[in-house]
Amino acid sequence: MPYAAPPETPPAAVSAALTTTNVRVTSSFRGARIVLYGAVFDPTAQPSDVVVIVRGPEAPLRMARKTRVAGVWVNSRPVVFEGAPGFYMAASTRPLGEIASFGTLRRLGAGVDHLAINAPLEERTETRYGVRDVVVSRLGQDYLDWRRAVVRLKEQSGLYAADEQGVTFVDRGLFKAEIDLPTAAPIGVYTAEIFLFQNGQPVSRRMRGLTVEKAGIERALYLFAHNRPWSYGLVSVAIALAAGWAASVVFRRN
């Protein structure tokens, strides 16, 4: 007797697309707004949440803290942090804390508080209370202050953002989110991750790519400056001297 399969329900899924996948930085670049559209396919009509995470290229960054020495505020020894993306945006339908548990968010790196920003050069492992290989940071108790400062400074320059209502449903199953790239957005490859959450768990995930690149004369100048730095320097000095000379010639005629 054939086994009667239960009626098959396809799993819930999410899909999304970006209005632009290639941002061109030209001389008129003043930042860009990219819209992400997506759809939730779910036959069971369970309550769903959508979380969109956009990350820019990662580069280590150096930070110092100002300390007062003999009445003067001076920089401390700089600390190198790794794991901080050059751009980070988390948009969701509700506050992230209501969508999923702390552990889940931490595992996915969802939300600025869950970014794995650390200072590997400051860390060493030691045995504490009989536990081996405990990671200890030389920054000690202040470590959280430092980490928070990384996020705060990035937020101030518009590079990090968290929008708890950034994902909006425009129609049943159809949602959109806006990504605002500031002028300071780093050049490189970006990724947009789209998660569908049901009952606090990510049930579906999509990944979309985005490139920010210099174009036109900006690109030509940038490449010239980096590929042939000495000729670039000579040319820029020649322009300066020629301009100075030209101005004095013009003025003498007058």
Partner 1 sequence: MDIYLPIAEVSVNAPILIALGAAVGFISGLFGIGGGFLMTPVLIFLGIPPVVAVASEANHVAASSTSGVISYTRRKAVDFRMGGVLAAGGAVGSFIGVEIFRWLRLLGQADLVVALSYLIFLGVIGALMLSESLTSILRQRRGAPPKRRKDRRPPWLYGLPFKMRFPRSRLYISVIPPLVLGVFVGILSAIMGVGGGFVLVPAMVYILRMPAGVVVGTSLFQIIITTSLTSVLQAGRNQTVDVVLATLLLIGGVLGAQVGARASSRFRAEELRALLALIVLAVGLRMGLGLFFTPAEPFVLMAGNG
Least distance to partner 1 from the beta carbon of 233, Å? 3
Least distance to partner 1 from the beta carbon of 63, Å? 5
Residue (77 or 172) nearer to partner 1, CB? 77
Member of 27, 44, 46, 165 binding partner 1 (CB under 8 A):
27
Least distance to partner 1 from the beta carbon of 99, Å? 30
What type of residue is 31? G
Q: How many residues bind partner 1 (CB under 8 A)?
A: 61
234 binds partner 1 (CB under 8 A): yes
62 binds partner 1 (CB under 8 A): yes
Q: Is the dihedral of CA 219, 222, 223, 224 positive or negative?
A: positive
| 44 in Cβ contact with 185 (< 8 Å) | no
Member of 135, 136, 153, 207 binding partner 1 (CB under 8 A):
153
Member of 22, 165, 183, 199 binding partner 1 (CB under 8 A):
183
User: What is the rounded CA–CA span in Å between residue 110 and residue 44?
Assistant: 26
Q: Where does residue 152 rank: exposed (0-12), middle (13-18), buried (19+ CB within 10 A)?
A: exposed
39 binds partner 1 (CB under 8 A): no
74 binds partner 1 (CB under 8 A): yes
Give the closest residue to 85 by CA, choosing from 48, 114, 43. 114
Give the closest residue to 53 by CA, choosing from 200, 203, 188, 196. 196
Give the closest residue to 51 by CA, choosing from 91, 98, 78. 91
| 108 in Cβ contact with 114 (< 8 Å) | yes
Residue (21 or 76) nearer to partner 1, CB? 76
| 9 in Cβ contact with 43 (< 8 Å) | yes
Q: Which stretch binds partner 1 (CB under 8 A): 92-100, 126-134, 144-152, 164-172?
A: 144-152
Those residues whose C-beta lies under 8 Å from the C-beta of residue 28, and which sit 6 or more positions away, are: none
Q: Which stretch binds partner 1 (CB under 8 A): 11-19, 57-65, 89-97, 191-199?
A: 57-65
User: What is the rounded CA–CA span in Å between residue 228 and residue 233?
Assistant: 9
Residue (113 or 218) nearer to partner 1, CB? 218
144 binds partner 1 (CB under 8 A): no
209 binds partner 1 (CB under 8 A): no
User: What is the rounded CA–CA span in Å between residue 243 and residue 241?
Assistant: 5
Least distance to partner 1 from the beta carbon of 179, Å? 18
Interface residues with partner 1 (CB under 8 A) are: 25-31, 59-66, 68, 71-78, 80, 146, 149-150, 152-153, 183-184, 187, 214, 217-219, 221-222, 225-226, 229-230, 232-237, 239-241, 243-249, 251-252
